[in-house]
Structure 1
Amino acid sequence: MPAQAEPGRASAGRGWLPRTRIALVGVVVAWVVPLATHLVGFDVLLPVLVWIGTASLLRTGRTLIDRLVIAFAVLSGGVSLGALLFSVWPWGLEPVPVAGTAFTTLVLVAAVTGRRPTLPTRIDPSDVVLVGASAVAAVLILRPLAPSPTAALKVLALGEDGARHFGIFDNIYRVGGLLPFHQPEMAVPLQAGFATYPQGAHVTFALINNFVHSGSSYGTPLTRLHNFALLYGLSLALSIACVMWSARWVGGQRLRGWAFLPVAAIVTGFLFFGDGIPIFTHGFVSEVAVFGPFALLIAVLSRPLSDPREQIVTAAALLCTVSMTYYLFLLSASVAVVIWAVGYRRQLLRHWRWTLGAILVGGPVALFAPLINLRQASSVKQLTRDGGVEAMNVILLSGLLAVVLLGLVVRRTARRSPAWRMMLAWVISSVAYAAVLYAATNGSATRYYYEKSLHELLVVLLVGAGATVLLVPAALRAPHRRRGRWLAGLIPSAAVAAVLLVGAIFFAGPANPGFRHPPNDRSWGEAYARDLNNFIQPANAIVRTFQKLPTNDGYVTVLYVNGRHDAITTYNGTLWLSVLYNNHGRAWPDTIWVLPTPTKTDAELEQFIRDSPDPVRFVTNAPSVSRVVAHIRQTDPGIRVEVVPITYP
C-alpha cells in the first residue's frame, strides 16, 4: 500500500502550483497588454490600469476614493524609484517597457502576498464633494492654458522659473531619464546647476506625456511646451485634491458626510482663489507638484493606515516622492517624521522586515536628490537669498493659523486624539521653520525661501483645517453622524461652504499688491478664471519669434523690444527662447545682460556684441539696434551678428 502524503505538504503543493501558474500567466499578460495598446496607439490607458491594479492589491481605505488616493501615494514612490532604473536601462521612458515592468511587479506582489484584486465600492457624500471640487478646479485651471502654446505662455511667461522647469522636462524627454546621469551633455541646454535640480515632477510629466503620445518622440518644442503647461496645470488640480483628501483623512469620522463641505471650501479658497495661483503662475513647478504628496505624508503620519505594512510602504513612498520632487519641504518635516517614528516604534519593530526593506530601498531614493544637489544647495546663504516671489497674504494665513490652533489646543477631543496631537506637531515645526528663516533674513519678509516656508505652512494648516469642525458645537455636528442619511446636514454645510467661497472670491487677493497683483482688487483665482492677469504681448512675441526662426543654428537669440511690458518681454522672452532653442546654458549671460535696464545705449549695445563669445541674433523692433549693428559691420565685416525685424505694438 503506497504511503500517504502528509496533508499539510499536499495542500501546500497543490496551492503553490496553481499560484505559480497563475503568476506566469499574469506575467505574460503584463507584457501583452502594453504591446497591444502600443500597436493601436492607446498607451494612455496603461497608467490608469496600473493605478487601479495597485489599488486592488491594497486593503486599507474605507471608500473607493480612499483606496485610489493611497494607491496614488504608493505609485508616486514607485515612480521615484523607477526613475533611477529608467535612467540607466537602455529603453529610457518608453511606454511598453515601463508599463510591462509595472504590471509584472503587481503580478509578483499578488503572487507573493496571495492577495486577489478587490476594490471597495462604498461612496461617501464627502467623496462626491472631493471629486466634484477637484474636477471644477481642474477645469478652471486648464481653461486659460488649453487653447494654444501662446495661451499657455501668456499665463506662464511672467515667471522665469517656468522656463527653466520646462527646460529640465524637455531634456529629460530628449535623453530618456534623469539629468544627473547626463551632466556633461547639459552644459549647453541648461543653466549651470539645473541638471542636478530635484526632478521628480519633471520625470513624471515626461512619463505621462509618453503614455499620452504612445512614444517618446513627437511634436515641436512649442508642442511640448504646451503639453508641459497642461500637465503643470493638472498637477495643481491634483494637489488641491490631495490636500482636500488629507484634511478629510486626518479629521476622521467627523469629516465624513456633508460636514466636509466647509473644509473643502477652505482648501479651494486658499489654493485657487488665494495664494495658490501666484505660486502657480510664477512657475514654481516642483513646489506645486509636491503639495499633494506632502499633504498625503502629513495625513498618513498623523492618522496611520490600518495595516502597518501598508503604512510603512506608503510613508516610505511619500518620503521618497517629497525628496525627489522638492526636498526643501523635508527640512522641517523631518521633525514630525522622527516624532511619528518614535510613536510608531512598536509597529515598526513588530514588522521589522518591512521596516528594513523600506530603509534599504527607500533610503537611497530619498537621499538621491539632496546628495546629488549638495554642491548647489548646501549653504545657509542659499536659504537667505532674494528671488522673484509674491508675498503671501499673511493676514489670511494668520487667521487660518489661529483657527486651526484653537481647534487643536482648546478642544479636549483634539488634545486626546493621537491624530490631532500629531497634527499639532506638524503645525509647530512648520511655524518654527518659518520663524527661523525669517530671523535668518534679518526680518525681511520678501526673502525667497522665507516665502517658500510660508507656502509649506499653508499646506500644513489646510490639512489641519478639519480642526475647525471641532470648534462647532456638538449639537450642530450631530446630524452629520446619522448613518444612511445622505441629505442630513447638507443645507447648513452647503450654506457655510458658499459663504467661505464667496469670501475667498472677494477677499483672497494679495494683502500688499505688487507689480503682478490681480487688477481691480480681485482675488487671484477670480482674475485667473477670467483670464485678466495675463501677458499676451510677451507671449505673442516669444511664439512669433520661434515660429519665424524655429531652429537653433548656433546663434544666441536676444528678443529686444520697445513697447508695453518691454522689460518683461526682453528678459523673459530671451529666457524662454533660449529654452525653446535648447541653448539656455550658453545664452544665460546674454539673458542677464538685458535684465538691468531694458533700453540700452548705443555704446552698451556695441560693447555687448563685440564681447559676446557666441554669434548674436537680435529679434527687435528697436531702430537703435539696426543702427548699431550696421555701424559694427562697417568697422568689422567679419563679425557674426544679425538683426531680424519684428512688429511689436
Structure 2
Amino acid sequence: MQSNSTRAPATPPPVANPDRPASPPASPRPPSRRVTVAALWLAAAWLLPVLAYALGAAALLPPLVLALTAGLLRGGRTLLDRLVLATALLLGAVAAAGLLFSGWPWGLHPVPVAGTAGTVLLGVALATGRRPRWPRPAATDLPPVLAAVAAAVALGWPYLRAGDLAGRLAYAMIGEDNSRHLAAVEGIRAVGGYLFTDPQAAARVAPEAMTWYPQGFHLTAALLDTFLRSSTAPADPVAALDHYLGWALSAYALMVLALVWAATRIAGRQLDLARTWAVAGVVTAFCIGSELARFVVYGYPGETLGLALAALLVAVLCRPVAGIGTQLCLVGALCVGVGFAYLMFLPVVGLLVLAWLVRQRRAVLRRPLVLAGVALVAVPLIPLSSIGGLLNTDQIDNVATGGTVEPRYDAFLALTALVGAGLLAGGLRLPVWRRYAGALGTAVVFVLGFRIWFHVLDTDPRYYYGKTLHLLLMLLLVGIGALGLLLPPPWAAAGRRPGPLARLLVAAAVVVAAAGVAGLPGGTGMFAQPLDHRTTTWASAWWSGRLARPGPAELTVRALAQAPVEPGTVTVVASGKRREGYLCSLFVATLQGTAGASGPAYYKLPLAEPARSAAVVAAVPGRIRFLAADDDAEAVVRQLLTDRPELRTRVRLERLH
C-alpha cells in the first residue's frame, strides 16, 4: 500500500534579484481604462508645461521628468539608486535630443521640450506596460547626497562670500576657460541648439574655438537654465555669470555624487551604513584635496560632467542593473553622454563597453530589438563630436600643447596600493571586483600610453596628459570601497561585535584621517604642489584667495558700466600690466554676448603692451574702442594713433573711469 506521507517535491522559491525591489505584481487594466489613462497622461504632458511656463514656474518641469523617468525604470534597490540611474539616462538622452532641438523651430523652449519628454515617457510606459513606481529611500542614500552637497558648498564658498559681481569675477577670472564655457552656454541659448548646427548664428556670441568643442555640459546647462528662467531671452551679464557658476558647481556636485555612488555600488553588501559613511567621507575628502578641485578653480565643467558619466558607466558595467534591456539603454546613454561631454575619455570607455558586450554576448543577443535600437542611436552619436572636431579643428595638435604637467605620482601610488590591498585581500575572487580591476588596468594602460607618446615626441608631459590622470584618479576613488574587503563583512558573527555608535565613531575617525592626508586643514596633503610661490593644494589656494584676480575683475566691471554694446564695434581694455588687458577684454566681450564677434581682438595676439594694441588694430578690420586702464596703456594707444593717423576713422580711445 502506498504511503500517505509521499509528497511531490517542493518547488524552491525563486531567488530575488538584489537589485530589484520586491513589489506585488501589477493587476492588468481593462483596455478602456488604459486608453483613458494614456489620454490623460498625454494631455497632462502638454498642458502642464504650458501652464508652468505661463506662470513662470517652468523650473518645476525637469524634476518632474526626472521623477517619472525614475518611476518607469526597474533597476536599483533604493530611491537614490533609481534617481541616479534616471539621471544617467536623461543626460545621455538630452545630449542626443540636442540635435532635435537644434533642428526644430522651437529651440530650447520649455513647452515643446517638456511636452516631448512627457510624450516619450508615455510611449515607454505603454510599450513596457509599466506604471511609475518608486522604491523607498534607505539610510544609505544619505551619505552620497550629503557628500555632493558638502563638496559643492566647500568649493563654491569663495563665490558665495564674494558679495558682488566684481568679487565673483575675481575668482571666475582665475581660469580664462570660464569665459569660453559661459559664452558657449549663452551661445547655445541664443542659437537654440548645438553651436555646430548653426555656426553663423553662433559666431557673434561664442568663440570660434567652441563651435566644435564637446558641448554636452553646455547644452544641458543652457536647457536647464531656460527652464529655470522660464524664458529664452538673453540674460543680463550679472545673471548670466551667476547662473553659469551655479551650473558648473552643480556639475561638480554631480561628479562627487557619482563617485561616491559608484564606490558604494561596486562594494555592495561589503558596506554597512557606517562603512558607507566612511567611503563617502574619504571619497569627498580626496575630491576636494586632489587635482579634481581644479575643475572649479580653473573652470572645467565639460570634463567634470564627462568624469561623472564615466564613473556611472564603470559602476553599471561592474555591477549591472537588473534587466538586460535596461542595462543596454543605460550603457548606450552614458556612452553618448561621455562622447558629447568630454571625448578624451572615449578610448577607455569604448574598451570597457566592448569587454562587457563580449562577456554578456549571450544575454545581449537575447534582446535583439533593444540591442539594434540602442546601437542605431548610440553608434553614430558617440563619435560625432570627435569626428566633427577632427575635421574642423586642430585638436590632435592641441593634445601636445599646453603647460607642463607635474603630477604627484606618490599620491597615485599610495591610492593604488590601498585599493590593490583590498583587491588582493579577497576582492579578486568576486566577479564585480575582477571587472573593476580590468577597468583600472585599462586606465593605467591609457595613462602609460600617453606618457610614452610624449617621450617619443621628446617633450615633457603636457596639459592633456593630466586629463588621463584625472580618469585614473576617478577609477581609484571608485575603488575606495575595496578597503572594506580588508575587514570582516558587517553580517559576520565573530564574537561580540561593536555597536552602531562605535562603528560610526570608527567611520568618523577614518574620514578625519582621510581629510588630514588630503590636506584639507592646512593644504599640505599628499596632492599638494607648487602654487602661488608655495606648496599647497588647489582647494587651499582657492579658499585663501591668493589665486583671485581682484584688479582685473574691478576693471571688467567698470568697463561693462562705461562701454555698452555698440553693434560693429569691438571693445578692448588696454592695460600696462601683462595679460590684464587680455583677460578684461575677454570677459567684457563674454558678458556682453559678443565673444564670438570680438574673438580676433583677443586670441593668438601678444599679451603685453605695446605689441598688443598694435596687433589688435591689425587683426580687427572694423571699429575698435580702446579703454585705457592706466597712463602707460593710454600713452601706447595715443602713440599708435599719432604714428598712424588713418586709424582715427575707426579707432577711438577712452580713459576707463
- Provide the TM-score with structure 2 as the length reference: 0.88
Partners of 2:528 and 2:36 in 1: CA distance = 65
The correspondence of residues 60-71 of structure 1 with structure 2, limited to 5 A, is 60-71=75-86
Q: Is the partner of 2:634 in helix, strand or coil? A: helix
After superposing the two structures, state which structure 1 stretch, 626-635 or 106-115, moved more: 626-635
CA contact (8 A) 2:92 2:337 kept: yes
Instruction: Return the letter of the residue paired with 1:427.
Output: L
Shift of 1:310: 1.0
Shift of 1:485: 7.8
CA contact (8 A) 2:217 2:305 kept: yes
Corresponding position of 2:233: 217
Q: CA RMSD in A?
A: 2.8
Corresponding position of 1:130: 144
Partners of 1:454 and 1:436 in 2: CA distance = 12
The correspondence of residues 274-353 of structure 1 with structure 2, limited to 5 A, is 274-353=290-369
Corresponding position of 2:440: 427
Q: Is the partner of 1:70 in helix, strand or coil? A: helix
Instruction: Return the letter of the residue paired with 2:359.
Output: G
Alignment match of 2:453 (pick from 440, 448, 452):
440
Q: Is the partner of 2:578 in helix, strand or coil? A: helix
Shift of 1:440: 1.3
The correspondence of residues 157-196 of structure 1 with structure 2, limited to 5 A, is 157-196=173-212
The correspondence of residues 122-521 of structure 1 with structure 2, limited to 5 A, is 122-124=137-139, 126-146=140-160, 147-376=163-392, 380-383=396-399, 385-388=400-403, 391-408=406-423, 410-411=424-425, 413-442=426-455, 444-470=459-485, 472-474=486-488, 478=492, 487=501, 489-504=503-518, 505=520, 506=522, 507-508=524-525, 510-515=527-532, 521=535
Shift of 1:530: 4.8
CA contact (8 A) 2:605 2:616 kept: no
Quickly say closer, same or farther: Cα 1:482–1:55, change in 2 above 3 A.
Answer: farther
Corresponding position of 2:122: 107
Shift of 1:367: 3.0
Partners of 2:302 and 2:493 in 1: CA distance = 41
Corresponding position of 1:547: 561
Partners of 1:107 and 1:614 in 2: CA distance = 53
CA contact (8 A) 2:178 2:299 kept: yes
Q: Is the partner of 1:508 in helix, strand or coil? A: coil
Partners of 1:578 and 1:422 in 2: CA distance = 48
Partners of 2:626 and 2:592 in 1: CA distance = 14
Quickly say closer, same or farther: Cα 1:353–1:256, change in 2 above 3 A.
Answer: farther
CA contact (8 A) 1:616 1:642 kept: yes
After superposing the two structures, state which structure 1 stretch, 206-215 or 179-188, moved more: 179-188
Alignment match of 1:600 (pick from 587, 610, 617):
610
Structure 1: unaligned runs, 5 residues or longer: 1-11
Q: Is the partner of 1:513 in helix, strand or coil? A: strand
Partners of 2:220 and 2:230 in 1: CA distance = 15
Q: Is the partner of 1:438 in helix, strand or coil? A: helix
In the alignment, is residue 42 of structure 1 matched against residue 88 of structure 2? no
Quickly say closer, same or farther: Cα 1:340–1:489, change in 2 above 3 A.
Answer: same
Corresponding position of 2:19: none
In the alignment, is residue 644 of structure 1 matched against residue 650 of structure 2? no
C-alpha deviations, 1:18-37, integer Å up to 9, x for none?
A: 21221111100111111221
Instruction: Return the letter of the residue paired with 2:512.
Output: A
After superposing the two structures, state which structure 1 stretch, 605-614 or 336-345, moved more: 605-614
Quickly say closer, same or farther: Cα 1:54–1:361, change in 2 above 3 A.
Answer: same
Shift of 1:145: 2.2
Partners of 2:136 and 2:294 in 1: CA distance = 38
Give % identity. Answer: 31
Shift of 1:374: 2.5
CA contact (8 A) 1:262 1:500 kept: no
Shift of 1:330: 0.8
Partners of 1:103 and 1:224 in 2: CA distance = 28
CA contact (8 A) 1:53 1:106 kept: yes
C-alpha deviations, 1:210-263, integer Å up to 9, x for none?
A: 111111115313321221111111111111111110111111111241112232
Partners of 1:360 and 1:452 in 2: CA distance = 30
Quickly say closer, same or farther: Cα 1:403–1:363, change in 2 above 3 A.
Answer: same
After superposing the two structures, state which structure 1 stretch, 104-113 or 227-236, moved more: 104-113
Q: Is the partner of 2:218 in helix, strand or coil? A: helix
Shift of 1:196: 1.5
Corresponding position of 1:587: 598
Partners of 2:313 and 2:640 in 1: CA distance = 60
In the alignment, is residue 53 of structure 1 matched against residue 64 of structure 2? no
Partners of 2:136 and 2:495 in 1: CA distance = 20
* Total equivalences in the alignment: 622
Shift of 1:184: 2.6
Q: Is the partner of 1:375 in helix, strand or coil? A: helix
Corresponding position of 1:3: none
C-alpha deviations, 1:291-324, integer Å up to 9, x for none?
A: 2111100100111002211111111111111111
